[in-house]
Amino acid sequence: CNSNSNSVNNNKKAFCNFCIPLLLSFLAYEEVEEGAEEVVEVEVAPEAAPEPEPEPEPEPEQEPEPVPEPEPEPEKQPEPEPEPEPEPEVHEEEAYEEEEEKPKFKPSAPKIPDGEKVDFDDIQKKRQNKDLVELQALIDAHFEHRKKEEEELIALKDRIEKRRSERAEQQRIRAEKDKERQARREEERLRKEEADAKKRADEDAKKKSALSSMGSQYSSYLQKADSKRGGKKQTEREKKKKILADRRKPLNIDHLNEDKLREKAKELWDWLYKLEAEKFEHIEKLKRQKYEVISLRNRIDELQKHSKKGAAARRRNVCSLPEAVKGDLPHPA
């Protein structure tokens, strides 16, 4: 701001130094013209007092003064072109003289009182001072306006700079947010890859353990086949024990951690649940089959009542049925 005010003051001084001489020269020129007019007016003023104004009227007698009158001599020449040339000159001079004779719009000179003296220097100084004051006011107004424009320009530059800094700050914050978002995405991707790799490793371990258990079961199956071929007949109890031994799977849980033990317990629970479901289905199937056998047998008995050989055939059929079914059948009449 101080530099701006200094520059404004310097410009103001230069402008004043340039304008004041021009104004003074212009005022001097006006003074010369006014002095000439005053001289004319002063010379004319005493002539108006004696009233013999018609004396200067003999001036129109000088109209024959134009020298070009001897020019008609070239009329003898065959060339007609130079003849009209002197005529317009005479007319122009006459018109000019007529205009001089008729001073219609000349202003009347002011009459100066005899007892008082007019100080033209004082009047000129006052006029110069007035013009200088007006010029100074114009200069001050100009520089004031220019100062306001410079202040507005400085304020505009400040606003532009502030907006630019705000925009740069917003872009920086946005770039940081984008960087953080990309970092989070990268972390999530790595976490998912690690989880998938761990899951695949667990599945591979389960497959290996299942294959090892299947290999042990297959070896026990081969041993059973060999024993069946070369061994002696087994009782029902021994068969049952062997079947149960085959169904029992070995538990390899020494090397398992807590999570694997929980998974193993859940697997055994699912297997037991499946066996119980199969047992329940077999029991229900047996009951349904018994009911169907009994209902069919009753229908057969009803049909055989009306035949002659129905009684004998019914006795034979009853004797051929097993004891478990006989208890459920109704007693024949």
pLDDT of residue 72: 47
Label residue 12 exposed, middle or buried (CB < 10 Å: 0-12, 13-18, 19+).
middle
User: How does pLDDT run across 96-143, given as a tens digit for each residue?
Assistant: 565 555 555 555 555 555 555 667 888 888 888 899 999 999 999 999
Determine if the pTM surpasses 0.75: no
* Tokens 């070369």 belong to residue: 230
What is the torsion angle, in degrees rounded to the nearest 10, for the CA atoms of residue 137, residue 143, residue 146 and residue 148?
A: -80
Task: Give the distance from CA 118 to its chain's centroid.
Answer: 80
| Amino acid making up residue 65 | E
pLDDT of residue 192: 92
Residue 74 DSSP symbol: G
User: How does pLDDT run across 209-246, given as a tens digit for each residue?
Assistant: 777 776 666 566 666 666 665 555 567 888 888 888 87
User: How does pLDDT run across 157-191, given as a tens digit for each residue?
Assistant: 999 999 999 999 999 999 999 999 999 999 999 99
Mean pLDDT for the stretch of residues 266-272? 88
Rounded to whole angstroms, how far apart are CA atoms 231 and 301? Answer: 48
Rounded to whole angstroms, how far apart are CA atoms 144 and 43? Answer: 49
Label residue 294 exposed, middle or buried (CB < 10 Å: 0-12, 13-18, 19+).
middle
Q: Are the beta carbons of 127 and 27 closer than 8 angstroms? A: yes
Mean of all residue pLDDT scores within the chain? 72
Per the structure block, which two tokens stand in for 238? 């021994």
What is the torsion angle, in degrees rounded to the nearest 10, for the CA atoms of residue 89, residue 95, residue 97 and residue 99?
A: -150
Task: Give the distance from CA 177 to its chain's centroid.
Answer: 16
Per the structure block, which two tokens stand in for 278? 């199969």
Alpha helices (H) along 231-257: 236-247
pLDDT of residue 139: 92
Mean pLDDT for the stretch of residues 184-210? 88
Residue 307 DSSP symbol: S
127-130: list long-range contacts, CB under 8 Å, 24+ apart.
127/27, 128/24, 128/27
pLDDT of residue 217: 63
Q: Residue 194 pLDDT more than 50?
A: yes
- The percentage of residues in the chain with a pLDDT greater than 70, rounded to a whole number, is 52
Residue 67, classed as helix, strand or coil, is coil
